[in-house]
Chain A
């Protein structure tokens, strides 16, 4: 089975590949530290982490998925929502 976030094979019995699984574990560990440091809930924590420029890209992908905001899961997919403001160059 493929990882839910990239083209790699998922670890058996898990949604993620080794790397995204590692990122997921790190997010869980970090949440404990964040809670000790400040008054913060799970959703707000995920939003903070996903918007923080220091967050690694795999950790961000996992955070966004956990937030239910990650639109495309393929490696070449764009994480940006479509913005059909103009249609030009149509052949």
Chain B
């Protein structure tokens, strides 16, 4: 009998794997130093199944001070680099003790570069170098019993070293860029102003922030142009219907007014009626980016929230591994078996209908991922799923079934109406064969306009004809979904890290709101970097590094060589940065001060018109609003403020007293707006 240590990525995964591998389905649950592990029996072997807590080791500086450039690094336990991660130290100790007297090791972490690296680091630094030679790798895309057993039977004889090397290099390169550039920014501000403010930038964060900046400049410098449209309505069969001027946008006002003058109150002739059928293909299967975008469209969930929910569904074995780029389902995945599982759920009738078909082939997209298939339900019936997780599960299930559906057919009707030589269109459309759409409701965008019966030559009276001035619109600001797409198109970041990068931009105060608006600090960071080290903002540099990192995975280039190249690329950038540190710090500091002043400005003083800002009393420490005129003795207006919660300016003035309206935001409560003046008569009225 052999004793084998099975390393999993997360506690919930360890439990599932233990239950699947134990021949009786009931592994023994044990605890060591507060860490849960399982003992399972399989083919005469004793399996010790233990989990990590994500990464237990990380890259850190090797000695030295908090400065830059730093190129000396080493891998250390996460809890040594980050004091808040103390719990991970216990996992390391528990795994170390459990690995005594073990004859074999199995990596059962998620099958991707992160999972491979997690297990590799644990084996190397916790279990000892010799464990690497005795380790094998399980590969699965879902945590169902069937998938886990298949992965156990088909385990590879060694660890997946190309993935591990790619993961190691990615962490090291990201650390080198992140730590050096972030320290350079932070220290430049400290040197210029004496104040400490955490600033960060990285090789993906830089170009991403640059995209937002470029779009913001487009929006803020936009000047609209006028154009005219003819708004018209016709009476047909007792109904009032909108008709469209066939000429579309009209660039000159005189021309638009002429059309209006000549067509108003006139009767036109229905010249032609054409019907066409449009076949609408089913949607493709989800990869992570598609799922994040769709969840944003229908539920307004941020990409990071969607990823978190999808990972939870994966750990419960309800869906396949979500961190995938693939829009394909390999033939080895039994679609009928999945649908049979879904028969036991609320999707029963829909699943039955699909199962009654002879052939079932999902519509696949172009993108592929050698490690994992597209996201799909596993067929395991969910228990007690509710809230946001249930919504994401519903979206994934319906998308999966819709991809197996038939084409939908839409009938389009277009009628041409001639009025005084001017052509107008009457358009309608309806779905005549719902096909896949039935499976994807309520997430389908359907627009139905049914027209009355139309005959060529029939007279049609225009009830309303009006030339209306419109204006061109600025490009839309990025939202989290469109920015994610832009990052994918630019090939920067990975499917697993993009959502996290967006969160960091918010956390650092570089962007705010949704759609995303870049703050003055964000502007200053991009401007300064584009001035002194534009490479950091360059998509090309990041993309070229991404490609090299992928080449490691394919065994085409060595990890150490890529890390060395990253160091060489950083050296001149950091040298230039150091030389101009003071100037850079001053520029950024100016933006930080501007941001602070703006955040503290609540509006204008009702007495003198100067700014009302938030101040704190020297003795009481309490905050209040006061006019800046106090400093030169010209104005003494002050107002008390709520002491808890965040206060924001609204830009509005009270209609009763003219004082600014502020917004108070408290955790767990709905934000509310109030007049800053406690004696405002509007408050008396409300009371």
Q: Which residues of A contact B (CB under 8 A)?
A: 7, 19, 22-23, 26-27, 29-30, 33-34, 36-39, 49, 52, 54-59, 75-78, 80-91
CB-CB under 8 A from A78, the residues of chain B are 603-604, 609, 611
User: A85 and B223: CB pair below 8 A?
Assistant: no
CB-CB under 8 A from B676, the residues of chain A are 89
The answer, yes or no, to whether B330 is at the interface (CB within 8 Å) is no
**7 pairs, CB–CB < 8 Å, chain A vs chain B:** A7-B590, A19-B221, A23-B220, A26-B223, A76-B594, A83-B606, A89-B637
User: A76 and B597: CB pair below 8 A?
Assistant: yes
**CA gap between A89 and B624 in the complex, in Å:** 11
Q: Contacts A37-B226, A37-B252, A75-B594; is A84 near B221 (CB within 8 Å)?
A: no
Interface code B599-632, partner A: CB below 8 Å = 1, 0 otherwise? 0010111111111000000000000001000000
User: B657 and A88: CB pair below 8 A?
Assistant: yes
CB-CB under 8 A from B604, the residues of chain A are 78, 80, 82
The answer, yes or no, to whether B471 is at the interface (CB within 8 Å) is yes
Q: Which residues of B contact A (CB under 8 A)?
A: 217-227, 251-254, 471-474, 520, 590, 594, 597-598, 601, 603-611, 626, 636-640, 653, 657-659, 676-680
CB-CB under 8 A from A58, the residues of chain B are 220-221
Known: A7-B590, A55-B222. 8 other contacts (CB 8 A): A23-B221, A26-B222, A39-B253, A54-B473, A59-B222, A76-B611, A86-B606, A87-B606
Q: Contacts A76-B601, A85-B657, A86-B658; is A37 near B609 (CB within 8 Å)?
A: no
**CA gap between A42 and B472 in the complex, in Å:** 19
CB-CB under 8 A from B224, the residues of chain A are 30, 49, 52, 54-55
Interface centre among B220, B252, B609, B638 (most CB of A within 10 A): B220
Q: Contacts A37-B251, A54-B472; is A83 near B611 (CB within 8 Å)?
A: no
**CA gap between A33 and B657 in the complex, in Å:** 43
Say how far B601's CB is from chain A's closest CB, in angstroms: 6
CB-CB under 8 A from B677, the residues of chain A are 86, 88-89
Say how far B138's CB is from chain A's closest CB, in angstroms: 55
Find the A residue at minimum CB distance from B591: A7
Q: Which of A38, A49, A75, A82 contacts B598 (CB 8 A)?
A: A75
User: B680 and A56: CB pair below 8 A?
Assistant: no
Q: Contacts A52-B471, A54-B474, A76-B601; is A26 near B221 (CB within 8 Å)?
A: yes
User: A27 and B220: CB pair below 8 A?
Assistant: no
User: B220 and A87: CB pair below 8 A?
Assistant: no
CB-CB under 8 A from A38, the residues of chain B are 226, 252-254
**CA gap between A51 and B604 in the complex, in Å:** 21
User: B609 and A77: CB pair below 8 A?
Assistant: no
CB-CB under 8 A from A90, the residues of chain B are 607, 636-638
**CA gap between A82 and B218 in the complex, in Å:** 31
CB-CB under 8 A from B520, the residues of chain A are 75
Q: Contacts A49-B224, A57-B220; is A86 near B252 (CB within 8 Å)?
A: no
Q: Contacts A83-B606, A84-B609, A85-B658; is A56 near B637 (CB within 8 Å)?
A: no
Say how far A46's CB is from chain B's closest CB, in angstroms: 10
User: B611 and A77: CB pair below 8 A?
Assistant: yes
**CA gap between A91 and B617 in the complex, in Å:** 13
Find the B residue at minimum CB distance from A81: B609
CB-CB under 8 A from B610, the residues of chain A are 82
User: A36 and B220: CB pair below 8 A?
Assistant: no
**CA gap between A89 and B662 in the complex, in Å:** 15
Q: Which of B227, B252, B594 contacts A7 (CB 8 A)?
A: B594
CB-CB under 8 A from A87, the residues of chain B are 606-607, 637
CB-CB under 8 A from A36, the residues of chain B are 251-252
Say how far A49's CB is from chain B's closest CB, in angstroms: 6
Say how far A67's CB is from chain B's closest CB, in angstroms: 14
Find the A residue at minimum CB distance from B227: A37
User: B225 and A83: CB pair below 8 A?
Assistant: no
User: A82 and B471: CB pair below 8 A?
Assistant: no
User: B606 and A59: CB pair below 8 A?
Assistant: no
CB-CB under 8 A from A59, the residues of chain B are 220-223
Say how far A85's CB is from chain B's closest CB, in angstroms: 4
Say how far B654's CB is from chain A's closest CB, in angstroms: 9
Find the B residue at minimum CB distance from A9: B587
Interface centre among B223, B251, B473, B658 (most CB of A within 10 A): B223
CB-CB under 8 A from A55, the residues of chain B are 222-224
CB-CB under 8 A from A80, the residues of chain B are 604, 653
Say how far B258's CB is from chain A's closest CB, in angstroms: 13
CB-CB under 8 A from B218, the residues of chain A are 56
CB-CB under 8 A from B252, the residues of chain A are 36-38
CB-CB under 8 A from B594, the residues of chain A are 7, 75-76
CB-CB under 8 A from A27, the residues of chain B are 223
The 3 closest A-B pairs by CB, nearest first: A82-B609, A30-B223, A56-B220
CB-CB under 8 A from B254, the residues of chain A are 38
CB-CB under 8 A from B608, the residues of chain A are 82, 84
**CA gap between A84 and B627 in the complex, in Å:** 13
Q: Contacts A7-B590, A54-B474, A76-B594; is A89 near B639 (CB within 8 Å)?
A: yes
